[in-house]
Chains A and B, each alone.
Chain A
């Protein structure tokens, strides 16, 4: 969006600016922003703001004093001071305006995003207050904004992922230096860490969404363990692709695999305990009486722990990636990332193929 800030360079004449001229310009620019109904009220506000300031500015305009026949320095100083104050007021006004405009810009972007989400919800046949669709939308039929935001971000994440895989492929085939390859590898790693951050945020909004892996394809979900891949499974896929490894590396990878397995077992058992706890809480008291809100409320409290487990599982995935990058050479790490990315792509293709291949009629 072009904001012709150059038009607001203050006139250097008296240290004041020409507010009337600028209000008009500012208004023009707002009309081009988008939603005209918003900008109309904004223009009014903005105009009022500027007008008030121009009034005070003009009040502070130095009027030639009739006392100029007294010490010549005094009124001159006064004039200088007033000029400085004008300049300061003008500068502050410009800064305030800038901040205000930035605020408007971000609100506008937010509005566009919300409109998109609403559009998506409508396309899926769901309306606020209507619709009996179940799934991750709940009874009210309103799309959880945290989920909607995540799905948009994930789409973008996948695009970047595919681009990075292409870069990895090119980098491995070309004769680039280790340092340059390291950068490509670091980008790939950071990208996964970004995904874990995104998942952590949406887990707070709806942990069941993360647990069910709704945003992933069906074949990916088949392998789901606490909201994602089992780190030890990924290691199995990776290691086969990384020959030749030195003896030291084989030793370290073996240890890593074993530690992963142990950590996963511990978390799995913790999850089982959580299931038992929730189930026991829910089933407490007599079933069949028809009044059960206390049990449901208590069970909800227990269920909060699920967020911790999802975070721990992702932490495990992240640590596994980190450790592998320490054990492997840069080149091996690059091949590993590429292998991992392509493995996931194959899973996604499997899902598509499965969904579209003709089946025997029931």
Chain B
């Protein structure tokens, strides 16, 4: 639990992923397009990966990955991010963290 929350609050936009997960990749592409650099943690490459996976599921994520945290708070999985984006709520949330040149 601690590791997940610690990693989630270390950086602005954090995506928990697995190295083989292409949907996670799609999410990072979306963030990129919105001018945000996301920090990706691949939990299958992490020694505590199992625990982290359990934590993410217990936090309410349907699938453990992708799990997206913005400003240390859990936004959700792909569904939540897409819904938020289409309803116009994602960009305002990402505004403080956008890094346009």
Contact = CB atoms under 8 A, between A and B. Distances in A.
A312 B29 contact: no
Interface string B27-55: 10110011000000000000000000000
A277 B88 contact: no
A252 B87 CA distance: 9
Contact of B23 (A265, A309, A316): A309
B25 interface: yes
Contacts of B79: 312, 315
A262 B84 CA distance: 13
Contacts of A323: 86-87
Interface of B is mostly: helix
B26 to A, nearest CB: 3
Kindly state the interface size class of chain A when it binds its partner.
20 to 34
A5 B56 CA distance: 54
A320 B26 contact: no
A316 B86 contact: yes
Contacts of B63: 308
Interface string A258-296: 011011011101110110010000000000000000000
Interface in A304-343: 305, 308-309, 312, 315-316, 319-320, 322-323
A142 interface: no
Interface in A82-98: none
Nearest to B63: A308
A256 B83 CA distance: 11
B73 interface: no
A166 B56 CA distance: 47
Given A269-B29, A315-B79, A263 B20 contact: no
A270 B86 contact: no
B85 A277 contact: no
Interface of A: 252, 255-256, 259-260, 262-263, 265-267, 269-271, 273-274, 277, 302, 305, 308-309, 312, 315-316, 319-320, 322-323
12 contacts: A263-B30, A263-B82, A266-B26, A266-B27, A267-B26, A269-B26, A270-B23, A277-B20, A312-B26, A312-B82, A320-B86, A322-B86
Interface of B: 20-23, 25-27, 29-30, 33-34, 63, 78-79, 82-83, 85-88, 90
